[in-house]
Structure 1
Amino acid sequence: MKNHEEKTDRFGRRYPDGALHKNRRELFQLAGIGLFSSLLAGQAKGEARHQPEFKVLGENDKIDIGDKGKEIIEKAYKLGYDFEKKHGGCCRCTVAALQRAIDFVPEDKALFRTASCLDGGATPNGIQNCGAFTGLGMVIGWLCGADKFGDTKLSHRLIRQVYKQFETEYGSVLCRDVKKKINHDCPEVVARAAKWTAEVLLRQFTNYQ
């Protein structure tokens, strides 16, 4: 039978041989984990603090995009088509296409997430607004709507410009009517919605003509 030796710490407490070193090692490990977690938390808070705050755009705001207007509009069209064809969900795909194509549309995850259940008019019967139209309205409202109850003339004016495009092409903004007019080609619906919205936004807020 082995004779277990004991060691005493600086407070006079006795431990079996090896246990004292083990306890110290575990304590240092826990301290290291705590320090690492604190550093990660601090980094996350710092990143959140340094993210630029989005400024709602007004009637007179203008952004210089050089000669990239046509390129941005074409990109919005292509992304809208590709996203809808690959992922589905006309509302969220319209939002995502505009977020990716236009630099001054923030890629806010909350905005994208909010669009998750609004495709197909958010109903199974298709007699509500086309999801692409809803999505583009969300982006317009996000960019130039009101944070509080106030003036919303600009956002209404811009969405009605896109509405006229829907009326001209499909005769309606209702999901069922739009699908019937375009033979259920939803990727094309999203692509056009993103393109028309990009044109409206660039004409209002940039040097694009």
Structure 2
Amino acid sequence: MKQKHELIEQAAQAGFQYEQIYRGCAQCTIAAVQDTLDLRNDAIFKAASGLAGGCGGTCNGICGGLSGGIMMMSACFGRSRTGFGSENDEKQCSSRMAKDLYQKFVDTYGSGICKEIHREIFGRTFDFWNAEEKQAFEDAGAHTEKCPSVVANASRWTMELILQELEQRGLDLKDFTL
């Protein structure tokens, strides 16, 4: 099995490339982590369809990279349906991991909100539902460097947190499934 550092960087590189090619920050983060862990799950991937651009392209919600990372961590360690009626360890674990990922966004970009991240990396915000604004976003390097870098970080940090949790639980990737 690859070393922890190699897996983390593999996820970051995949996230960067997926965002450049396919777009959709939440799905690109999920795909990068799933492919790195060799744990594909199309239902999780599909469920992230509307999360790009801060929820439906509004830029007013959390970054899709952040929401995709939270979805993957919760898929790995979150509360199952059988534990639905209780405040169990799995629910607490996924909440802790989500908070840790959110904090990495705040430390790096000043926020986990899409438009605030745009303000940080582009110097302005964009209205994705306006064709001229959407073109300005692309012209500013949205899918050449800017958003792919954010997705790379989201994928990197998500992998770090998942691998850290596996390590703390004494689990090995080869024994882990979604």
Q: In the aligned structure 1, how far is the partner of 2:52 from the partner of 2:150? A: 12
More helix by share: 2
Q: In the aligned structure 1, how far is the partner of 2:30 from the partner of 2:57? A: 21
TM-score by length of 1: 0.64
The alpha carbon displacement at 1:123 in A equals 3.3
Picking from 154, 165, 173, the partner of 2:112 is 173
Pairing 1:102–2:41 present: no
Q: In the aligned structure 2, how far is the partner of 1:144 from the partner of 1:100? A: 18
Asked if the contact 2:60–2:115 (Cα under 8 Å) also holds between the matched residues in 1, the reply is yes
Q: In the aligned structure 2, how far is the partner of 1:115 from the partner of 1:157? A: 21
Match of 2:158 in 1: 197
Larger Rg computed on CA atoms = 1
Q: In the aligned structure 1, how far is the partner of 2:63 from the partner of 2:26? A: 8
Q: In the aligned structure 2, how far is the partner of 1:201 from the partner of 1:86? A: 25
Asked if the contact 2:26–2:48 (Cα under 8 Å) also holds between the matched residues in 1, the reply is yes
Match of 1:136 in 2: 69
The alpha carbon displacement at 1:159 in A equals 1.2
SS at match of 1:120: coil
| Number of positions where the alignment pairs a residue of Structure 1 with one of Structure 2 | 141
Unaligned runs of 5+ in 2: 123-141, 173-178
Pairing 1:147–2:108 present: no
Unaligned runs of 5+ in 1: 1-64
Q: In the aligned structure 2, how far is the partner of 1:125 from the partner of 1:203? A: 33
> Which stretches of structure 1, 4 residues or more, deviate above 2 A after TM superposition?
none
Match of 1:87 in 2: 22
Match of 1:68 in 2: 3
Asked if the contact 2:69–2:154 (Cα under 8 Å) also holds between the matched residues in 1, the reply is yes
Match of 1:156 in 2: 95
Deviations 1:129-184 (A, max 9, x none): 11111101111111111113132100111111111110101111100011221225
Q: Which amino acid in structure 2 is aligned with residue 79 of structure 1?
A: A
- Higher relative contact order, structure no. (Cα contacts within 8 Å, ≥ 6 residues apart): 2
Q: Which amino acid in structure 2 is aligned with residue 85 of structure 1?
A: Q
Q: In the aligned structure 1, how far is the partner of 2:58 from the partner of 2:79? A: 32
Pairing 1:186–2:139 present: no
Q: In the aligned structure 2, how far is the partner of 1:138 from the partner of 1:200? A: 13
Q: In the aligned structure 2, how far is the partner of 1:190 from the partner of 1:126? A: 15
